[in-house]
Amino acid sequence: MKIKERYVEFVNENILRIYEKKNDTSLFGLNEPERNVTVEKRPAVGRNADGSICIRRNGVTVFSEKAVDKDHAPEEKVNFDIAFKEGHKKSDNRRSYKTRIGIALLGEEDKIYGLGDKAAFLNRRGYEYVSKNSDDPTQHNETYRSLYKSVNFIMVNHDRTWYGVFYPSSYECTFDLGKHDPDILCIYSDKGEYDYYLFLGDSPLDIVRAYYSLVGPGIFTTMKFMGYHQSRWSYTDAEAHEVVRRHAEEDLPLDFIHFDIDYMDGYRVYTVNENYVPEFKKTCEEFKKQGVGVITIIDPAVKKDKGYSVYEEVKKIRGFATLKGKEYVNEVWPGDAVYPDYFRKDVRDYFKNITKKFMEKYGITGIWGDMNEPASFKGPLPEDVEFPGDERMILHDEAHNLYGEYMSRTLSESFREENKRPTVITRAAFATTARYTASWNGDNQSLWDHLRTSLPQVMTMNLCGFFMNGVDVGGFGNDTTKELLIRWLEADIFMPYLRNHSALGTKRQEPWSFGCETYEIYKKFLRLRYEFIPYLYTLQWQAYKYGTPMFAPLFLYYPGDERVKEINDEVMVGDRILHAPVVDQGEKRRVVYLPEGRWIDYFTGKAYDGGRDYIVDMPIDSTGIFVKAGAVIPLMKGKTYVDPKEINEIFVYHAKDPEDRGDICLPFDLHWDDGESLDYEKGVYDTIRIKVGNGKAEIERLKNDFGKELRFTLL
């Protein structure tokens, strides 16, 4: 097969761009670091016999392309009619795409990670996924080719070497991760070009950070956002009051309550249904006084409705998508609906301002952007629906995977303008969307399988630079059970974004829905979460600043340990906490693998030697939290909502190893700031190194530009 001219550009020693023709990235602007390459440190770029590229680092081949022609893995010639009659579907086996990037998988044991929110295991080798944001509420599983997000980043591990690949195109593309040919990883696209970034480094953390340097920096949320969120489709005013009252009465932590679509008048965005939520403004104000913020859902599609101001005003500026020049209409919750052209600045400004006014009018704290794939009930939007952006016409095929990003960017601007950190959540996203918003992974279900999936899903989102991500705890669709709800909260207790949310008509799953025992356990774990807020907040800072995942697979910190490369049910929360929850129905104990080093059980203080499996008892009210021996962790106590102004004392936990009399200390650099404004971007924050020695907490202020007075008390 003849290979066209292929170019290799060095962004730096660890980031290369390999292309025949570059994708036009203007719609999502990458943050290419300044070009800076020391010739001696450059990896060696070679050519295979067929002209494809291979890369050697430190004398070892770490990466090699492999030509893939259009007949690669030919289709099975079988008559499928009989199978179709029973409702079976055939997956798309087409390989004849315009662009076919082939990468050799160098060994049978190579692992492939990445691709964002797929409901899959950490290692995605052998599967095929399609980057095309979709909205499908049926039961997601690992063979689901597309979910809500298109994050075209993968990371490959071969022996001790690692590399990452990012495909910088918003057009639909397919990642065949060794499904058709176990020795080749392919990226296919009809409209995207032969063009990708290659990330090299010594460890997976190097790769992830190099990728983040290109697509980041991600959002840094308020400290409050890391508290607990309670949601339901759809609380009435009275129900919301009941939720807030019960939380307050029993000191059960709560920071946000979410209002789903029924708070709107006929699902018209930026309106309020006075019957469903009478006195909404008063409600928001009362909640705020109790430390509880209100987050309202906003969908992009606008009801096509004469006389409805949002529709009329945006129509006046011709701000809706068109088809052959005429307003394009599909259907979403409000019935006939039209789609804002967020690719235009005046349209974004309109929605930015109306969001600001709406939030001010009622006292709303945050916006939950949903249905922004964009969803459409009357079939998918045709590929040629037009978004006449500012500089050029953008068609839906290019716009689709970026629609959620442009909506999120619009929403987030309405906060940033007022020097506030955005409290924005999105469902749909492209690789670069975490710059603007936190995210959740859409409509999961109350299934043990989805509880298990939540861990690799959020860990993978973290590898891809989406740190502030979470799932619907308890499951969205279907009915949860007492045991599932408890185990789910336990398992996801360190998830960066923690929200319990459930669908209309399903069994209620607020903390008290299953009686006393559940309630007490729920309370115990929510309080635990709140204790860890200073630690988690600092992890978010490190993620934002350096691209270090806060909710990470074990291999990120122990890349040399073969055992951890496919552990889906244990999580590293930062570099010093290993969380191994029960994720199976009926289990009262589980096998925990602890990597090298010594580990201390957070609850009992018992020490374990790493590099081995243990069977650990975990009755229904417990989970496995293991802390690296000697590690320091900053905690807070007794708070039921997060207000940084009210936090004056940090409690220092030291994971003492009984065998070394507690002498070893792994210090921690606490990040502190006002927790809500953008002043951190100007350097207004504190970095406080916490150590333990001579039986007390020792503090060193490495940076003191915010100057918060805090007391440190060793536990």
Nearest Cα residue to 410 out of 212, 316, 541, 269: 269
The answer to the question of residue 570 lying near ligand GLC (CB under 6 A) is no
Q: Which two tokens stand for residue 16?
A: 């290369």
The answer to the question of residue 297 lying near ligand GLC (CB under 6 A) is yes
When binding is defined by CB under 6 A, the residue of 216, 340, 442, 496 that contacts ligand GLC is 442
Write b or e for each residue in 6-31: b if 16 or more Cβ atoms lie within 10 A of its Cβ, otherwise e. Answer: eeeebbbbbbbbbbeeebeeebbebe
- Name which of 507 and 545 has its Cβ closer to ligand GLC: 507
d(CA 592, CA 209): 28
- Binding-site string for ligand GLC from residue 50 to residue 69, where x marks contact by CB under 6 A and - marks none: --------------------
- Name which of 52 and 426 has its Cβ closer to ligand GLC: 426
The answer to the question of residue 373 lying near ligand GLC (CB under 6 A) is no
Report which DSSP code applies to 2.
P
Does 370 qualify as catalytic in the annotation? yes
- Name which of 506 and 540 has its Cβ closer to ligand GLC: 506
User: Residues touching ligand GLC: how many (CB under 6 A)?
Assistant: 11
Q: What angle do CA 564, 568, 571 make, to 5 degrees?
A: 75
- Name which of 442 and 675 has its Cβ closer to ligand GLC: 442
Does 183 qualify as catalytic in the annotation? no
Q: Which residues lie across from 383 on neighbouring strands? A: none
User: How far are the Cα atoms of 153, 173, 180, 587 from residue 98, in angstroms, in the given order?
Assistant: 20, 11, 18, 50
Q: How far is the CB of 297 from ligand GLC (least distance, A)?
A: 6
Instruction: Decide: 378 and 330 in contact? Cβ < 8 Å.
Output: yes
Instruction: Decide: 297 and 368 in contact? Cβ < 8 Å.
Output: yes
The answer to the question of residue 519 lying near ligand GLC (CB under 6 A) is no
Report which DSSP code applies to 468.
S
Nearest residue to ligand GLC by CB is 233
Active-site position among 13, 135, 373, 657:
373
The answer to the question of residue 128 lying near ligand GLC (CB under 6 A) is no
When binding is defined by CB under 6 A, the residue of 370, 373, 510, 657 that contacts ligand GLC is 370
When binding is defined by CB under 6 A, the residue of 54, 190, 217, 233 that contacts ligand GLC is 233
Write b or e for each residue in 666-700: b if 16 or more Cβ atoms lie within 10 A of its Cβ, otherwise e. Answer: bebbbbbbbbbebebeeeebbbbebbbeeeebbee
- Name which of 394 and 425 has its Cβ closer to ligand GLC: 425
When binding is defined by CB under 6 A, the residue of 185, 207, 261, 665 that contacts ligand GLC is 261
Contacts 24+ apart (CB under 8 A), 346-353: 346/317, 346/319, 347/314, 347/317, 347/319, 348/406, 348/409, 348/410, 348/413, 350/313, 350/314, 350/317, 350/319, 351/407, 351/410, 351/411, 352/410, 352/411, 352/413, 352/414, 352/417, 353/414
- Binding-site string for ligand GLC from residue 396 to residue 435, where x marks contact by CB under 6 A and - marks none: -------------------------------x--------
Q: How far is the CB of 476 from ligand GLC (least distance, A)?
A: 6
Does 673 qualify as catalytic in the annotation? no
Active-site position among 110, 117, 405, 443:
443
The answer to the question of residue 334 lying near ligand GLC (CB under 6 A) is no
- Binding-site string for ligand GLC from residue 137 to residue 156, where x marks contact by CB under 6 A and - marks none: x-------------------
- Can you give the binding site for ligand GLC, defined by CB under 6 A? 137, 233, 260-261, 297, 370, 427, 442-443, 476, 501
**Which residues are the active-site residues?**
370, 373, 443
